[in-house]
C-alpha cells in the first residue's frame, strides 16, 4: 500500500502523541533537589492521564463479557477514525460514537461509490481505446528492448501504457442517522462498549432519574442494522429519528420523505450525476405511538422528514439500504455498465418479514445465533488474564513494545476476525477500510489495492474458519475478469485470459492507473496472480470440488493463460529462462526485468494449475502441458546477490539501506511458499551465476531471505509508518521461527499504529488519522503464523508439513486453539503449556484427496500419516 504523495508529507515527525507522556520518559533522579520537579512531573502526568481517561468508572460496565472479549470506554467517542466503534454485516456498516441524549450513527452501504459509468457514461475501466492496440504492442516491444539493452537493466518510464484514471470514483459515506431523546439533566454513570461475543455496541447512562440503554447491531440474516433505545423508567422521553446528509461532507442532499407512518425513506445519489441509493428506516415501538412527519424546508430544497416516538417504553429503528449497482451487469453483454434496477423494490422487500413483525428480543436473538455460527467454529486462548478494570483506550495507551499484553493481543486478534466477518460477508469484498468510510473523499478511494492490502485482509480467513471468501471470488469473476480480458487484448496484445493492475474499484477498473510517471503503482499486472493463490488456497483447504469446477478453476485458468503469453525469453542475460518485462516490484521505482516478486508468484500459480487440474474436470491437456513447460523454463525469482541478500530484481541492484515498506521479493516466505518450502530440484537448477548454473540449498535461500528481511527494517521507513508493514514483518519472522523478532514486530505495530478504538491507523500521530483496515485484519494472520504453520507445497506428492508453535513468544507460554483449519481439509485442536504442545487433535474432513502429512514441533517430526476421509489422530507426546 501507498505511502502516497498526498499523505506522506502530512506525517508529522513526532514520536508520540503530544498529549501523552509515557512513564518511561519521566526519570526521577535520587537527588533531593530534583525531587520536587520530579513529583510535579509525575503529578502532571497523572492529571493528563485522568483528563484523558476521565475515569470515574474503573470497572467494565455491567453486561460487559466476563471473558473480557470486548472494547469499553467511559466517554463518548470524539474522532471518527480513532474513537468511534464499528458494526456491520457486510451489506451495511455503521460507526457509533456512543452518544447519550443524541446518537449520531454514521452509515455505509457497501456498493455506494461515486464515479464509474454512473458519473461518466464513457468510463471504460481506465483502459486504452481499441484502436490503440497496435500502438501499445509496439510501445511494449520498445520498452522491452530498452530494458534488454540498457546498461542498468532499467528504463525510466512506461508512461505510454498507463491511462488517466478518469471517473475512478470512491467508496463514500451514506449519511447519518440521528436519534435524539428529549431529555435534560446531568449524564452520569456513562459507559459504552462493543461486545465481541455478540457483535453489538451498547451505551448506558443515568439521566433524569432513569437508566438509559442504546444498542446497535447489524444483522446478516436480515441484511439490516438496528438501533434500540430503552430506559429503566416506564416510558421513554420523546425520541426522534432523523437522517442527516449535512454531516457527511460532500454527499449530495437526498430526498427524505415518509414512506408510511413509521418509515423514513432516503433517496439520493452518490455524486452528481451518480449512483442512486435508497435507505429505508422503519421505526418500531412498544407502547406509545410513532409518526413520520415532513419537516419544513426552504422552497426549492429537497424534502426532509423525521420519525417521532412518544409514550413508548422502548423504540427501535431498523434500516436497510441498497444502490442501483449491479455486479452482474459488469460484462461485455451489459456494456460494462454495472447498472441494475432502481433499488427501491429490493430494499422494501428486505423490510417485510421479521423487521416489521418480530419483537426486538427475537431480532436480537436471531443476530446472536448468526454471530455464534459465523465466528464460533474457531477459538484462540493465549493464556490471557482479562483486565476488567482498565478501559480499552487506557489498555492501548499503556501498551509497551516487547513487554506486550496477552489480553490486549487476544482482544485484537478477535477484533480482527470481528472486523473481517462484519465487512466481508456482503456482496463485495472488504475494501481498504473494510466497509467503514467517512464523507466522500475516502483515502485511496477506499478501493482494492491488490499488492498486499486486500490480500492481507484475508490472511486469517481460511485458518480461523471464517466463511468470507466467496464474495471476494465473485468480485474477481464479475468485476475483474470481464474487462480484464479487454485489457489483456488492447494493452498487451494477448487474446486469452485476463489481467488487472494495482488498484481496482467496483467498476471493472483494470487498466494501468496512472498519475504521471507512476509505474511503481501502475505497472503491476501480477495483482490477479497473487489473488488467484487465495482462490487456490480455498480449494486446498476445503476440497469443495463443485465450487472449484464452477468458479475457482475458471478464474485460475484465465489468469494463468494470460501469463503464459506474457512471459518472454530473457534476452538480457540470455540464460534460456522466461521472464516478465517490463516489471516493477510493487511500489518500487526500477522498471526492469525478472522481478523476483512476479517470478515467484507466477511459478506458484502454475503449480496451483497443475495441482488443481484433475479436480477441475477440464480436458484441456494442451493447456496443462504448456503450463508445465513454461513453469519449468521460467526464472524462479530466487537469486542471491552481492551482499548476501535475496535479490529483488534479476539485476543485482538492491540497496542495503532500502527500508521500503513492502516485502515483495519475500512473498515466497510469507504468505507464499516459494521460499518457505524451497525445493532445490524444482527451483534451483536455472539460476545463472557468473555464467554457470548454480543450485542453492534451502539453507542458502533462507539465509539470504533473512539478510533481506533484516535490512528491510522494522516497518518505519522514511516513506511510511503504517501497521500493515509491521504485521507483514511479524508474519515473516514467525515463518523464520524467530519468536522474539515476531513478537517485537507485533508489539511494535500494536504500540504504534492503533487507535483507542483499536482501528489500525495509517498516520497514528495525526489529530484526525486515516483508517486502513489491513493491519487489523492482518494481525490475526500474523498471530496464527506464530502458532500453527502449514504453508503450501509445489506438488501434492510433497508432504504437507504442519508445524506446531513455530514461533511462540514466552508471553503466550500456555494456551489453546480450537477449530483451526489447514490445507488438506484438516481441523486441528491444539493445547500447549510451558511453551510446548501438550495435546493435538487432528480431524480430517469427510471428503478429501489423500495426501502425506508431517506434524513437526521444534526440529522434530512428531507424526507422519496420509490423510483419508474422516481420519482422526490425537498426539499427546512431543
Ligand atoms: C500482436 O499479436 C498478434 C497475434 O498474436 C501478432 O501476430 C502480432 O505480431 C502482435 N503485434 C505486436 C506488435 O507484437
Ligand atoms: C422537549 O420536551 C419539552 C417538554 O415537554 C418541550 O417543551 C419541547 O418542545 C421538546 N423539544 C423537542 C425538540 O421536541
Ligand atoms: C433533516 O432534518 C434533520 C433533523 O432536523 C437535520 O439534522 C438534517 O440536517 C436535515 N436535512 C438533511 C438533508 O440532512
Ligand atoms: C428528489 O425529488 C425531486 C423532486 O421530486 C426529483 O426530481 C429527484 O429526482 C429526486 N431525487 C432522487 C435521488 O430521487
Ligand atoms: C542509501 O544509501 C545511498 C548511498 O549511500 C544514498 O544515496 C541513499 O539516499 C540512501 N537511501 C536511503 C533510503 O537512506
Ligand atoms: C562472480 O565473478 C566475480 C568476478 O570474477 C567475482 O568477484 C564474484 O565473487 C563472482 N560471484 C559469485 C557468486 O561467484
Ligand atoms: C525501528 O527501526 C529504527 C531504524 O532502525 C530504529 O531507530 C528504531 O529504534 C526501531 N524501533 C523499534 C521499535 O524496533
Ligand atoms: C532472531 O533474529 C535476530 C535478528 O536477526 C537474531 O539476532 C536472533 O538470533 C534470532 N533468533 C533466533 C531464535 O533465531
Cα–Cα distance for residue pair 277/274, rounded to 1 Å: 9
The CA-based angle 665-856-791, given to 5 degrees, is 30
Cα–Cα distance for residue pair 489/45, rounded to 1 Å: 64
pLDDT along the chain (878 residues), means of 10: 35 26 28 35 37 58 97 98 98 98 98 98 98 98 98 97 96 98 98 98 98 98 98 95 97 98 98 98 98 97 98 98 98 98 98 95 98 98 98 98 98 98 98 98 97 98 98 98 98 98 98 86 97 98 98 99 98 94 97 98 98 98 98 95 97 97 98 97 71 83 98 87 96 98 98 98 91 98 98 97 98 98 98 98 96 97 97 97
**Using a 6 Å cutoff on CB, does residue 647 contact ligand 8?**
no
Cα–Cα distance for residue pair 36/799, rounded to 1 Å: 67
Kindly give the number of the ligand 5 atom that is closest to the alpha carbon of 655: 1
Q: 3-state class of 101 per DSSP? A: coil
Write out the DSSP string of 684-730: TTTEEETTEEE---HHHHHHHHHHHHHHTTTS--TT---HHHHHHHH
Ligand nearest to C-alpha 858: 8
Other Cβ atoms closer than 10 A to 213: 15
Query: What CATH number does the domain located at 139-162+447-787 have?
Result: 1.50.10.10
Within 13 Å, how many C-alpha atoms sit on residue 499's CB side? 28
Contacts of 21 (CB under 8 A, 6+ apart): 41, 44, 45, 48
CATH topology of domain 2-113+173-375: Beta-galactosidase; Chain A, domain 5 (2.70.98)
All three cell numbers of 793: 507445497
The CA-based angle 42-46-51, given to 5 degrees, is 150
Ligand nearest to C-alpha 304: 3
Interval between CA 745 and ligand 7 midpoint (Å): 10
Kindly give the number of the ligand 7 atom that is closest to the alpha carbon of 748: 13
Other Cβ atoms closer than 10 A to 401: 16
Interval between CA 307 and ligand 2 midpoint (Å): 15
Interval between CA 327 and ligand 1 midpoint (Å): 32
What is the crossing angle of helices 621-633 and 596-616, to 10°?
150
What confidence score (pLDDT) does residue 514 get?
86
Distance (Å) of CA 70 to CA 59, 194, 784: 13, 5, 20
Interval between CA 182 and ligand 2 midpoint (Å): 6
Residue 805 zone, left/alpha/beta (φ > 0; ψ -120 to 50; rest) = left
Q: What residue spans in the chain does CATH classification 2.60.40.1180 cover?
A: 800-875
Q: What residue spans in the chain does CATH classification 1.50.10.10 cover?
A: 139-162+447-787
Tell which one of 702, 711, 738, 748 to mutate to probe ligand 8, the residue whose CB is within 8 A of the most ligand atoms. 738
User: CB of 11 within 8 A of CB of 458?
Assistant: no
Beta strands in 252-344 (DSSP E): 255-260, 263-269, 276-286, 289-295, 304-310, 314-323
Eight-class DSSP state of 179? E
Cis peptide before 582 (omega within 30 of 0): yes
Which residues are 828's β-sheet partners?
A: 820, 842
**Using a 6 Å cutoff on CB, does residue 102 contact ligand 2?**
no
Among 69, 133, 76, 67, CA closest to 99: 76
Interval between CA 319 and ligand 4 midpoint (Å): 21
**Using a 6 Å cutoff on CB, does residue 293 contact ligand 3?**
no
Q: Whose CA is nearest to atom 2 of ligand 6?
A: 690
Among 219, 214, 225, 217, CA closest to 180: 214
**Using a 6 Å cutoff on CB, does residue 710 contact ligand 8?**
yes
Q: Which CATH superfamily is domain 800-875 in?
A: Golgi alpha-mannosidase II (2.60.40.1180)
Among 480, 468, 462, 375, CA closest to 430: 468
Express each pLDDT in 383-428 by its tens digit. 999 999 999 999 999 999 999 999 999 999 999 999 999 999 999 9
Contacts of 17 (CB under 8 A, 6+ apart): 765
Which residues are 398's β-sheet partners?
A: none
**Using a 6 Å cutoff on CB, does residue 138 contact ligand 1?**
yes
Other Cβ atoms closer than 10 A to 759: 30
Eight-class DSSP state of 605? H
Interval between CA 653 and ligand 5 midpoint (Å): 13
With b for 16 or more beta-carbon neighbours within 10 A and e for fewer, the 316-330 pattern comes to bbbbbbbbbbbbebb
All three cell numbers of 808: 511462540
Eight-class DSSP state of 254? P
Element (H, E) at 830: strand 826-833
C-alpha torsion sign, points 103, 104, 110, 111: positive
What confidence score (pLDDT) does residue 720 get?
78
Pairing between β-strand 176-181 and β-strand 170-171 as defined by DSSP bridges: unpaired
Q: Whose CA is nearest to atom 8 of ligand 1?
A: 493
Kindly give the number of the ligand 4 atom that is closest to the alpha carbon of 254: 13
Ligand nearest to C-alpha 402: 7
Note the helical H segments in 543-688: 545-547, 553-566, 596-616, 621-633, 680-683
Ligand nearest to C-alpha 311: 2
Cα–Cα distance for residue pair 516/647, rounded to 1 Å: 28
With b for 16 or more beta-carbon neighbours within 10 A and e for fewer, the 611-644 pattern comes to bbbebbebeeeebbebbeebbeebbbbbbbbeee
Q: Whose CA is nearest to atom 11 of ligand 1?
A: 137
| Pairs from 568-576 (Cβ < 8 Å, separation ≥ 24) | 568/144, 570/594, 570/635, 570/650, 571/148, 572/147, 572/148, 572/149, 572/153, 572/650, 572/651, 573/650, 573/688, 575/635, 575/686, 575/688, 576/633, 576/686
Cα–Cα distance for residue pair 438/173, rounded to 1 Å: 5
Ligand nearest to C-alpha 247: 3
Radius of gyration of the CA atoms of the chain, in A: 28
Interval between CA 844 and ligand 8 midpoint (Å): 35
**Using a 6 Å cutoff on CB, does residue 302 contact ligand 4?**
yes
What confidence score (pLDDT) does residue 294 get?
97
All three cell numbers of 99: 452518544
Cα–Cα distance for residue pair 251/272, rounded to 1 Å: 9
All three cell numbers of 644: 548476501
Which residues are 693's β-sheet partners?
A: 688
**Using a 6 Å cutoff on CB, does residue 655 contact ligand 5?**
yes
User: CB of 288 within 8 A of CB of 238?
Assistant: no
Tell which one of 714, 730, 741, 746 to mutate to probe ligand 7, the residue whose CB is within 8 A of the most ligand atoms. 714
Interval between CA 564 and ligand 1 midpoint (Å): 15
Tell which one of 128, 137, 564 to mutate to probe ligand 1, the residue whose CB is within 8 A of the most ligand atoms. 137
Express each pLDDT in 262-277 by its tens digit. 999 999 999 999 999 9
Ligand nearest to C-alpha 175: 3
Distance (Å) of CA 312 to CA 61, 137, 454, 520: 26, 70, 45, 59
All three cell numbers of 325: 449497482
Cα–Cα distance for residue pair 544/551, rounded to 1 Å: 11
Interval between CA 493 and ligand 1 midpoint (Å): 6
Cα–Cα distance for residue pair 238/307, rounded to 1 Å: 11
Interval between CA 714 and ligand 7 midpoint (Å): 6
Q: What residue spans in the chain does CATH classification 2.70.98.50 cover?
A: 2-113+173-375
Cα–Cα distance for residue pair 56/838, rounded to 1 Å: 43
Interval between CA 553 and ligand 5 midpoint (Å): 45
What confidence score (pLDDT) does residue 830 get?
98
Contacts of 117 (CB under 8 A, 6+ apart): 123, 167, 336, 337, 338, 339, 507
Ligand nearest to C-alpha 239: 2
Kindly give the number of the ligand 1 atom that is closest to the alpha carbon of 137: 13
Interval between CA 255 and ligand 4 midpoint (Å): 6
Amino acid at each position: 500500500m501507498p505511502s502516497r504523495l498526498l499523505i506522506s508529507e502530512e506525517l508529522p515527525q513526532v514520536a508520540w502523541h503530544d498529549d501523552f507522556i509515557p512513564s518511561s520518559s519521566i526519570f526521577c533522579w535520587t537527588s533531593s533537589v530534583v525531587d520536587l520537579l520530579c513529583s510535579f512531573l509525575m503529578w502532571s502526568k497523572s492529571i493528563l492521564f485522568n483528563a484523558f481517561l476521565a475515569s470515574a468508572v474503573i470497572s467494565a460496565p455491567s453486561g460487559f463479557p466476563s471473558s473480557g472479549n470486548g472494547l469499553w470506554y467511559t466517554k463518548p467517542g470524539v474522532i471518527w477514525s480513532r474513537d468511534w466503534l464499528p458494526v456491520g454485516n457486510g451489506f451495511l456498516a455503521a460507526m457509533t460514537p456512543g452518544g447519550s441524549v443524541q446518537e449520531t450513527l454514521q452509515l455505509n452501504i457497501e456498493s455506494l461509490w461515486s464515479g464509474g459509468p454512473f458519473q461518466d457514461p464513457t468510463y471504460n475501466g481506465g483502459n486504452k481505446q481499441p484502436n490503440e492496440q497496435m500502438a501499445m504492442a509496439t510501445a511494449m516491444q520498445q520498452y522491452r528492448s530498452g530494458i534488454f539493452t540498457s546498461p542498468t537493466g532499467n528504463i525510466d518510464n512506461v508512461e505510454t501504457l498507463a491511462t488517466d484514471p478518469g471517473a475512478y470514483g470512491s467508496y463514500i459515506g451514506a449519511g447519518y442517522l440521528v436519534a435524539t431523546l428529549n431529555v435534560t439533566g446531568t449524564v452520569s454513570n456513562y459507559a459504552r462498549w462493543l461486545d465481541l461475543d455478540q457483535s453489538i455496541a451498547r451505551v448506558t447512562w443515568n439521566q433524569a432519574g432513569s437508566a438509559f440503554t442504546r444498542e446497535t447491531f447489524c444483522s446478516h440474516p436480515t441484511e439490516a442494522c438496528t438501533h434500540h433505545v430503552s430506559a429503566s423508567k416506564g416510558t421513554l422521553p420523546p425520541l426522534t429519528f432523523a437522517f442527516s446528509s449535512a454531516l457527511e461532507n460532500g454527499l449530495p442532499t437526498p430526498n427524505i420523505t415518509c414512506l408510511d407512518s413509521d418509515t423514513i425513506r432516503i433517496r439520493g445519489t452518490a455524486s452528481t450525476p451518480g449512483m442512486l441509493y435508497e435507505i429505508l428506516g422503519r421505526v418500531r415501538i412498544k407502547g406509545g405511538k410513532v409518526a413520520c412527519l415532513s419537516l419544513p424546508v426552504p422552497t426549492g430544497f429537497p424534502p426532509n422528514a423525521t420519525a417521532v416516538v412518544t409514550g413508548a417504553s422502548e423504540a427501535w429503528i431498523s434500516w436497510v439500504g441498497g444502490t442501483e449497482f449491479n455486479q452482474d451487469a459488469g460484462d461485455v453483454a451489459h456494456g460494462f455498465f454495472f447498472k441494475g434496477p432502481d433499488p427501491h423494490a429490493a430494499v422494501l422487500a428486505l423490510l417485510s418479514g421479521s423487521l416489521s413483525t418480530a419483537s426486538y428480543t427475537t431480532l436480537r436473538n436471531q443476530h446472536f445465533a448468526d454471530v455464534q455460527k459465523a465466528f464460533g467454529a474457531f477459538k484462540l486462548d493465549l493464556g490471557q488474564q482479562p483486565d476488567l478494570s482498565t478501559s480499552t483506550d487506557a489498555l492501548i495507551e499503556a501498551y509497551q513494545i516487547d513487554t506486550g499484553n496477552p489480553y490486549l493481543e487476544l482482544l485484537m486478534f478477535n477484533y480482527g476476525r470481528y472486523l473481517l466477518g462484519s465487512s466481508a460477508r456482503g456482496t463485495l469484498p472488504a475494501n481498504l477500510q473494510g466497509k467503514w468510510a467517512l464523507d466522500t473523499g475516502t483515502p485511496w478511494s477506499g478501493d482494492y489495492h491488490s499488492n498486499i492490502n486486500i490480500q492481507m485482509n484475508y490472511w486469517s480467513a481460511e485458518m480461523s474458519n471464517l466463511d468470507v471468501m466467496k464474495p471476494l471470488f465473485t468480485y474477481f469473476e464479475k468485476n475483474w475478469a470481464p474487462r480484464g480480458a479487454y485489457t489483456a487484448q488492447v494493452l498487451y496484445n494477448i487474446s486469452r485470459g485476463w489481467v488487472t493492475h494495482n488498484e481496482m474499484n467496483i467498476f471493472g477498473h483494470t487498466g494501468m492507473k496512472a498519475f504521471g510517471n507512476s509505474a511503481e503503482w501502475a505497472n503491476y499486472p501480477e495483482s490477479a496472480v497473487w489473488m488467484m493463490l487465495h482462490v487456490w488456497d480455498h480449494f486446498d483447504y476445503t476440497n469443495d470440488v463443485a465450487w472449484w469446477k464452477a468458479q475457482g478453476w475458471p478464474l485460475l485458468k484465465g489468469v494463468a493463460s494470460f501469463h503464459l503469453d506474457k512471459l518472454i525469453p530473457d534476452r538480457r542475460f540470455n540464460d534460456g529462462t522466461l521472464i516478465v518485462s517490463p516489471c516493477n516490484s510493487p511500489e518500487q521505482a526500477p522498471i526492469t526485468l525478472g522481478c523476483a516478486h512476479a517470478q515467484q508468484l507466477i511459478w506458484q500459480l502454475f503449480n496451483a494449475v497443475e495441482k488443481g487440474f484433475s479436480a477441475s474436470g477440464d480436458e484441456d491437456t494442451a493447456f496443462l502441458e504448456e503450463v508445465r513447460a513454461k513453469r519449468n523454463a521460467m526464472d524462479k525469482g530466487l537469486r542471491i546477490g552481492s551482499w548476501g541478500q535475496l535479490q529483488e530484481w534479476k539485476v543485482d541492484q538492491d540497496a542495503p539501506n532500502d527500508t521500503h515498506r513492502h516485502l515483495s521479493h519475500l512473498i515466497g516466505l510469507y504468505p507464499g511458499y516459494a521460499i518457505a518450502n524451497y525445493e532445490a530440484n524444482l527451483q534451483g537448477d536455472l539460476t545463472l551465476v557468473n555464467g554457470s548454473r548454480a543450485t542453492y540449498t534451502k539453507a542458502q535461500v533462507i539465509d539470504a531471505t533473512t539478510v533481506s528481511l533484516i535490512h528491510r527494517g522494522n516497518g518505519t521507513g522514511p516513506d511510511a509508518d503504517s501497521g500493515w508493514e509491521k504485521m507483514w514483518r511479524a508474519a515473516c519472522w514467525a515463518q523464520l521461527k524467530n519468536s522474539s523478532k515476531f513478537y517485537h514486530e507485533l508489539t511494535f505495530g500494536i504500540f504504534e499504529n492503533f487507535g483507542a478504538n483499536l482501528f489500525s491507523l495509517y498516520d497514528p500521530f495525526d489529530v484526525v488519522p486515516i483508517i486502513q483496515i489491513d493491519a487489523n485484519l492482518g494481525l490475526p494472520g500474523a498471530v496464527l503464523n506464530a502458532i500453527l504453520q502449514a504453508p503450501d507445497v509445489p506438488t501434492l506428492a510433497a508432504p504437507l508439513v504442519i508445524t506446531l508453535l513455530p514461533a511462540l513468544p514466552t508471553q503466550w507460554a500456555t494456551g489453546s486453539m480450537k477449530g483451526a483449519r489447514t490445507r488438506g481439509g484438516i481441523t486441528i485442536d491444539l493445547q500447549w503449556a510451558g511453551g510446548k504442545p501438550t495435546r493435538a487433535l487432528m480431524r480430517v474432513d469427510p471428503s478429501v484427496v489423500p495426501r502425506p502429512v508431517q506434524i513437526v514441533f521444534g526440529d522434530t517430526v512428531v507424526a507422519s500419516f496420509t490423510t483419508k476421509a474422516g481420519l482422526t489422530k490425537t498426539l499427546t507426546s512431543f
